[in-house]
Amino acid sequence: MTTENAVAGGPAGRTNTTHRIINQLIQLQDLIFTREQQSVATGSRLTTLDQAISQMMTDLPADISNHFRRALQKSSIGIAPMTNGVCSACGMGLPVSQVPLVHANDTLHQCRNCTRFLYHQEGAPRRLGKRRSRSEPPQVGIARFSSPDLMMPQLTATDRDGALRELCDKLRVESFIDNADRLLEEALRREAIMSTAVDHGIAFPHVRGVEGGGLTLALGVSKKGIKFNPAARNLTRMVFLMVIPTAASAFYLKLLAGLTQTFGDEDARDAVLNAASPDELWKTLLKATRLTVV
């Protein structure tokens, strides 16, 4: 199925309009995810979020808005990237004839299996992951999503962008992603929509739609604190950067709920802030989340 009636004008006009609508749907989906997570995080921004979601829904063409709402009623994903000719939301391959049309991004297309909107994400940072040997026991808890290699107990950055750069580079160096620059670009684009800094000096920056592996988390700690949200007075000392493949969105909300519950406790936050080495930070994180991230 194709939503062609929402895009008018010549080829260039259609392409520009489609790109705008796709970007708007991606941003809207992220705001809706953020709204869902507020029930487990902080309720201080609910009114602003609700107003932004309502306005963005209103700004969409009616047929696209209605279909997007229906898709979200079935699951938390209404638009998903096409990856290697496959819908990344349901895992079904697209007809060969449809792949170049989605790649062109000049008209909105839908997956013929799950009916979600599709888009081609150019130059997306790809989450690689690390292979485990068959002899290794299956990971549990927070270890399913992170690694001692992704612990940074002493961020050197003094601002948000620098902290995100350090974490993105760490993910690349440790072979969890292959494009740190694009990951940083996407993370900053998300922060421009609405800051991911929350109470207790914590921030949960994230990038969605990164394909090629599972949900991945890197933790950076700033002892002095950084101004993660330019509009807020409070400093951020713990930065959890999450890379979220489309299919792992439900896991992300559960992980976020567990981390928020854990680090609402001052003793747990102090333990993380006092960790002096990556190994100590990892052990502290494992211990703190053993009952909340399962």
Is the domain of 167 the same as that of 59? no
Is the domain of 155 the same as that of 114? no
Is the domain of 151 the same as that of 272? yes
Question: Which residues contact residue 228 at a Cβ distance below 8 angstroms, ignoring those fewer than 6 apart?
Answer: 160, 163, 195, 196, 197, 203, 235, 236, 239
Is the domain of 29 the same as that of 94? yes
Q: Indicate the pTM of the whole model.
A: 0.74
Q: What's the rounded mean pLDDT across residues 136-147?
A: 82
How much is the mean pLDDT over the chain? 85
Does an H or E element contain 216, and which? strand 216-226
For residue 63 the two structure tokens come to: 């047929």
CATH of the domain at 199: 3.40.930.10
- The domain in which residue 271 lies consists of 141-288
State how far the Cα of 118 lies from the Cα of 145, in Å rounded to an integer: 26
176-234: per-residue pLDDT in tens? Answer: 998 899 999 999 988 988 889 988 999 999 998 776 678 899 999 999 999 998 888 89
Among 87, 119, 151, residue at a domain's last position: 119
Is the domain of 88 the same as that of 145? no
Is the domain of 146 the same as that of 283? yes
Among 86, 119, 152, residue at a domain's last position: 119
Q: List C-alpha distances in Å: 50 to 29, 42, 53, 288.
A: 13, 14, 5, 33
H helix and E strand count, the chain: 9, 11
Q: How many domains does the chain have?
A: 2
pLDDT of residue 128: 67
Among 54, 84, 119, residue at a domain's last position: 119
Question: Which residues contact residue 9 at a Cβ distance below 8 angstroms, ignoring those fewer than 6 apart?
Answer: 17
